[in-house]
């Protein structure tokens, strides 16, 4: 790793304190007593572009320049998707009953100061947890019915869900709530991209099993959406 790594007690980070009142959204992966957390820069809470301009300018972008992104931009996208925005642990996107079923994965292929690989976002620590090494963007594009442009993006966000967190409280209707929540998180990513002069597209056409395998998702999580991000190519 090229960036400082903190050894953290994951259980304390993800399930302690006020978060418990909103459910333990992120459980530790099997067999992990501690993990290597890559701290992200603090997100910026103000920007140059008014919200109305971002809504007006937002478009789906499928053509990217080869420029790398940096950790500051990564931080901003992950915060927009699922960042903690409240002392009680509430997040940037609404969640039915604050059950927080979503997990955000980062497939990095050209991010300064970050080795190519798959990472999982830890909202509580605002950091990245390594899942697997190596550039997986080609596999993601293949899983997405061969939408080749996806592999050109320097980074790809994948929104996945542990449905049980929400169906455990709301029964089968909880699945509907999770899909709604994914849409909220995805729109946040779109608007954040617009505000930063970057581009993205929500991709819903993919083979679930192939994408889960490309990312190494735990069996209880299912992928719901892919958001390739990059500098728009004119
Ligand atoms: C649920 C959903 C799934 C989508 N899946 C794909 C996809 O697989 N590939 C793609 O290129 N665009 C996909 N899109 C983007 C739409 O094509 C796009 O939003 C639409 O053409 C309108 O353009 P705009 O986003 O620029 O307004 C998807 C959008 C949504 C909301």
Q: For the chain, list the domains and their CATH numbers.
A: 5-230 (3.40.109.10)
| Closest residue CA from atom 11 of ligand 1 | 203
Q: Which atom of ligand 1 is nearest to the CA of 145?
A: 8
Residue with tokens 């039915």: 96
Alpha helices for 104-172 (secondary structure H): 137-143, 164-170
Burial classification of residue 20, based on how many CB atoms lie within 10 Å of its CB (0-12 exposed, 13-18 middle, 19 or more buried): exposed
| Closest residue CA from atom 2 of ligand 1 | 204
Distance 187 CA to ligand 1 centre (A): 11
| Closest residue CA from atom 6 of ligand 1 | 203
Report the C-alpha gap between 223 and 208 in whole angstroms: 6
Distance 95 CA to ligand 1 centre (A): 22
Cα–chain center distance at 164: 19
Residues in contact with ligand 1 (CB, 6 Å cut-off): 59-60, 62, 147, 201-205
pLDDT in tens, 19-37: 333 433 444 444 343 469 9
Distance 112 CA to ligand 1 centre (A): 28
Using the predicted structure, report yes or no on whether residue 186 has a pLDDT greater than 60.
yes
Distance 59 CA to ligand 1 centre (A): 9
pLDDT in tens, 36-87: 999 999 999 999 999 999 999 999 999 999 999 999 999 999 999 999 999 9
């Amino acid at each position: 790793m090229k960036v400082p790594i903190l050894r953290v007690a994951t259980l304390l980070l993800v399930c302690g304190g006020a978060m418990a009142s909103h459910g333990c959204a992120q459980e530790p992966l099997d067999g992990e007593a501690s993990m290597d957390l890559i701290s992200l820069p603090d997100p910026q809470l103000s920007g140059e572009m008014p919200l109305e301009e971002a809504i007006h300018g937002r478009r789906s972008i499928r053509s990217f320049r080869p420029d790398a992104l940096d950790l500051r931009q990564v931080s901003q996208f992950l915060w927009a998707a699922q960042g903690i925005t409240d002392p009680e642990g509430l997040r940037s996107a609404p969640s039915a009953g604050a059950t927080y079923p979503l997990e955000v994965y980062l497939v990095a292929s050209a991010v300064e100061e970050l080795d190519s690989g798959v990472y999982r976002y830890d909202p509580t620590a605002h950091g990245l947890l390594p899942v697997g090494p190596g550039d997986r963007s080609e596999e993601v594009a293949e899983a997405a019915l061969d939408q080749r442009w996806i592999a050109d993006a320097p980074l790809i966000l994948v929104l996945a869900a542990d449905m049980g967190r929400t169906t455990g409280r709301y029964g089968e209707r909880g699945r509907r709530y999770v899909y709604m929540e994914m849409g909220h998180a995805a729109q946040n990513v779109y608007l954040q991209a617009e505000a930063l002069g970057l581009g993205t597209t929500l991709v819903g056409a993919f083979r679930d099993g192939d994408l889960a395998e490309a990312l190494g998702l735990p069996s209880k999580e299912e992928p719901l959406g892919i958001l390739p991000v990059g500098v728009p190519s004119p």
